[in-house]
Amino acid sequence: MGRILVALGGNALQRAGDHGTWAEQVAQMRLTARVLAGLVAEGEELIVTHGNGPQVGTLLRQNEIAERELPARPMDVLGAETQGQIGYLIEQELTAALVQAKAPRTVLSIVSRTVVSPRDKAFAHPSKPVGRYYTEAEARTLRKREGWQMEYDGARGGWRRVVPSPLPRRWIEGDALRKLLPRGWGAHIVPVVTGGGGVPVVERGRGMFEGVEAVIDKDRTAALVASALDADTLVILTDVPGAAVGYRKSWERWLGQVSASEIRSYLRRGEFGGGSMGPKVEAALSFLQAGGRRAIITDPPSLGRAIRNETGTRIVPD
Amino acid sequence: MGRILVALGGNALQRAGDHGTWAEQVAQMRLTARVLAGLVAEGEELIVTHGNGPQVGTLLRQNEIAERELPARPMDVLGAETQGQIGYLIEQELTAALVQAKAPRTVLSIVSRTVVSPRDKAFAHPSKPVGRYYTEAEARTLRKREGWQMEYDGARGGWRRVVPSPLPRRWIEGDALRKLLPRGWGAHIVPVVTGGGGVPVVERGRGMFEGVEAVIDKDRTAALVASALDADTLVILTDVPGAAVGYRKSWERWLGQVSASEIRSYLRRGEFGGGSMGPKVEAALSFLQAGGRRAIITDPPSLGRAIRNETGTRIVPD
C-alpha cells in the first residue's frame, strides 16, 4: 500500500449540463467521495486536491453583476473563497464516505497559497480564459478600464478575458505540514490542499507575498504537492478513462501502462492537444521527474482498478 | 509565556464607515497582524480565530442580486467561503508581520466545521439577524417563499431575516489536530481555525454531518477551541478597550482584573446588554469553567499591555 495524491477535475464536482446548483455539486462529490473512500479502506494513504474553474467563474460573475452595489473582490481572493467552498464540500462528503467504508479519518482542508515567479514567461503571454463571454464593444471597454487582456474565441463567437498561467514553484503551507505531521499521519487524516492550484502569489520580499490575477494549473501544483508530501502515486481524475493517441480518430489507441519517455514522445508530436490532456501529461511527467513512482490519468469509475494497474493510463519512470 | 487564542472581531477586519473594499480589509488586518506578531515575538504561542459577519453579509447580498442568472448557495456554504477569504487574508498579512517581527511562523488556515445540537433551543427561537433590510412586503414574500423567519428592527425601520444561534458543541477538525500536532508546535505554526464560529452542522448519523442555516457566536466557539488546544489565555478582540459596568452612564467604570463570579454577577444584573458585550462575557466565563486560566476582553491597540496585565478586562477564576 502506498500514499496517493488524487487531483479532482471539474467533473468530479460538476457534470456537463449541470445548472451549477449546490445540490448538484453535492450529488456529484458524493459519488467521487465513495471512490476515494474505497482507496482508503484498501489501506492507501490519501491526499486530495481539486480544480475550481466553474466555481471561480460563478464568483467572478456574481461579483460582476453586483458590482454597482458591492465592490468586487480580486481574483486571488475569489480563488481562496472557492478553497473554502470546495474544501467544506469535500470535508462533508468524504467524512461520511470514509465512515461508511469503515475507514474513518478526519478530512482537513487547508487554505493554500502557491508561489509563482514574477519572471515567469506566462505573465508576458496571458493564455488562460476566465469568466464569461463578452461582445466586442464590452471587450474594448474592459481592456481600457480594467487593463484586461481579451481574446476572441471563434468557436463561441465571443470575447473572453485571458490571464497568465504561471508554473507553481512552492506550496507555502507545505513545508510546515511536512515538518509537523508525524509518521503514519495517513491513518488519521486526509489533507485537502492547494485547491484550484493554490492561490497564486509572488514573493516581494522575505515573507511578503502578493496575490496575483493568474490561474495555476491544478495538476501542476498537484505534482508539486505529491512530491512535497512523499506520495508515490499521483492520480489525475478527469472525465475520460485515460490518455489516448489518435484521440477520436480511426486509429485511436488508449494508453495503459506507458513509460515516461514513450508518452513524452507522443506529447512532443502533439497527440494530446494544448487545452485538455496535454497539461495533464506534462504534470504527470513533472511528478515522475521529481522522483514519483507512478502517475495515473483516469476517470472516477475506473480509479479503483487503475490503482491495481488494471485500467487507466499509468505512466511509470523509464 | 503561554499559549493564547485570539478571537478577532469584525472591526479587526473592517472599520465602521468602510465601503467594504478588499483594500480596506487588507489595511485593517495589517494593523491587527502587527499586534499579533508582537505577541509571538515575545514568546507566546498563538492560535487565531475570526468573525465573518460583514463578509457573509456581502456574499448573501451578491447571491441575492445575481440569483436570476446563478443559483444562490446556502448559508453554510457561504460561511465556508468566508473562511477561505479571511483565512487567506490572515495568512498573507500575519506571515509578513511575523517575519518583520523576527518570529517567522507558517500561518495555517483550516476550513472548520462546528457541531451543534438539532435539539438546541435556538432552533425554535431564531434570534440572530443576517443579511440586508427588507420592506414589509418583501418580508412577507420571503417568509412565504423561503420559509424565513423575519423580524422588524424598529431602530432602522426595516425587516431582517433572523436565524438560530445555537451553542457550539464540538469542533470537528480539532480532535485530529490535537492528536497529530507534536509538542511545541507553536514554535512553527499559527493555526487559524473556526472562522465565523465554524460552519454549523448537525450530526445525522456517525460521520454524517448536515450544514444548517444558522450562525454560531464566534467567541463561544473560540472558548471551545481554546480549551481543545490547551490555550491558557483566551483573548476576545473588539472595538472597545474592555468591559464596563454602567457603560455610557455617569457611573461608568471600566473593569480591569475581575473574578469570574464578580463579572457573572454583573452579567446577571444585565450590565452588558444582549447584543454586544454580554455574549463575550459569557464566552469568557465558559472558557474559565472548562479550566482556562485567563480571559481578556480588549481592543487591538491595548492587546500587548493587556497580556502583561496592565490594561483591558482580565477575567480570572475565583
Q: What is the residue-level pLDDT of chain B in tens, covering all 318 positions?
A: 799 999 999 777 888 788 889 999 999 999 999 999 999 999 999 999 999 999 999 999 999 999 999 999 999 999 999 999 999 999 999 999 999 999 999 999 999 999 999 999 999 999 999 988 999 999 999 999 989 999 999 888 899 999 999 999 999 999 899 988 888 899 999 999 999 999 999 999 999 999 999 999 999 999 999 999 999 999 999 999 999 999 888 999 999 999 999 999 999 999 997 668 999 999 999 999 999 999 999 999 999 999 999 999 999 999
What is the predicted pLDDT for the residue at A274?
Answer: 63
- What is the rounded distance in angstroms from the CA atom of residue A200 to the CA atom of residue A113? 6
Q: Write out B196-236 in H/E/C secondary structure.
A: HHCEEEEEEECCEEEECCCCCCHHHHHHHHHHHCCCCEEEE
Angle, in degrees to the nearest 10, between helices A75-100 and B75-100: 120
One of B174, B196, B218, B292 is an active-site residue; which one?
Answer: B218
pLDDT higher for A30 or A182? A30
Predicted confidence (pLDDT) per residue in A215-243, tens digit: 999 999 999 999 999 999 999 999 999 99
- Cβ(A161)–Cβ(A142) under 8 Å? yes
Predicted confidence (pLDDT) per residue in A24-61, tens digit: 999 999 999 999 999 999 999 999 999 999 999 999 99
- Cβ(B238)–Cβ(B9) under 8 Å? yes
Does pLDDT of A21 surpass 70? Answer: yes
Kindly give the residue spans of alpha helices, DSSP state H, lying in chain B: 22-41, 53-65, 75-100, 136-146, 172-180, 218-228, 260-268, 278-289, 303-307
Q: Measured between beta carbons, which residues in chain A are less than 8 angstroms from residue B176?
A: 106, 108, 188-189
What is the predicted pLDDT for the residue at B70?
Answer: 95
Contact state of B80 with A99 under an 8 Å Cβ cutoff? no
Nearest to B65 among A69, A104, A176 (CB): A69
B10 catalytic per annotation: yes
A179 catalytic per annotation: no
Nearest to A80 among B84, B175, B185 (CB): B84
What are phi and psi for residue B115, nearest 5 degrees? -80, 130
Residue that has been written with the C-alpha cell 495538476 in this structure: A219
Nearest to B71 among A19, A95, A211 (CB): A19
Residues contacting residue A259 through CB under 8 Å, at least 6 positions apart: A315, A316, A317, A318
- What is the rounded distance in angstroms from the CA atom of residue B227 to the CA atom of residue B193? 13
Does pLDDT of A163 surpass 90? Answer: yes
What is the predicted pLDDT for the residue at A275?
Answer: 64
Helix (H, G, I), strand (E, B) or coil at B268: helix
A10 catalytic per annotation: yes
What is the predicted pLDDT for the residue at B273?
Answer: 75
Query: Is residue A23 classed exposed, middle or buried when 0-12, 13-18 and 19+ CB atoms within 10 A define those classes?
Result: exposed
One of A198, A242, A280, A292 is an active-site residue; which one?
Answer: A280
A121 catalytic per annotation: no
CA dihedral (B214, B218, B221, B225) positive or negative:
positive
Q: Which domains does chain B have, with CATH numbers?
A: 3-118+167-316 (3.40.1160.10), 128-163 (no CATH)
Predicted confidence (pLDDT) per residue in A85-132, tens digit: 999 999 999 999 999 999 999 999 999 999 999 999 999 999 999 988
Question: Using 50, 70 and 90 to split pLDDT, how confident is the model at A193?
Answer: very high
Does pLDDT of A5 surpass 80? Answer: yes
Residue B252, Cβ neighbours under 10 Å: how many? 10
Helix (H, G, I), strand (E, B) or coil at B193: coil
Scanning every residue of chain A, which has its alpha carbon at the shortest distance from the alpha carbon of B83? A84
A291 catalytic per annotation: no
Contact state of B176 with A108 under an 8 Å Cβ cutoff? yes
Determine the number of helices (DSSP H) and then strands (DSSP E) in chain A: 9, 17
Tell me what ipTM this predicted complex has: 0.96
One of A51, A87, A128, A292 is an active-site residue; which one?
Answer: A128
What is the predicted pLDDT for the residue at B248?
Answer: 86
Q: Measured between beta carbons, which residues in chain A are less than 8 angstroms from residue B91?
A: 111, 113, 172-173
Joined together, the cell numbers standing for residue A7 give 487531483
Sheet strands (E) in A44-154: 45-50, 106-109, 113-115, 128-134, 149-153
Best of A61, A67, A91 to disrupt the B interface by mutation (most B CBs within 10 Å)? A91
What does A155-191 look like in DSSP terms, one character per residue?
TTTEEEEEE--PPP-EEHHHHHHHHHSPTTGGGTEEE
pLDDT higher for A20 or A213? A213
What is the predicted pLDDT for the residue at A247?
Answer: 87
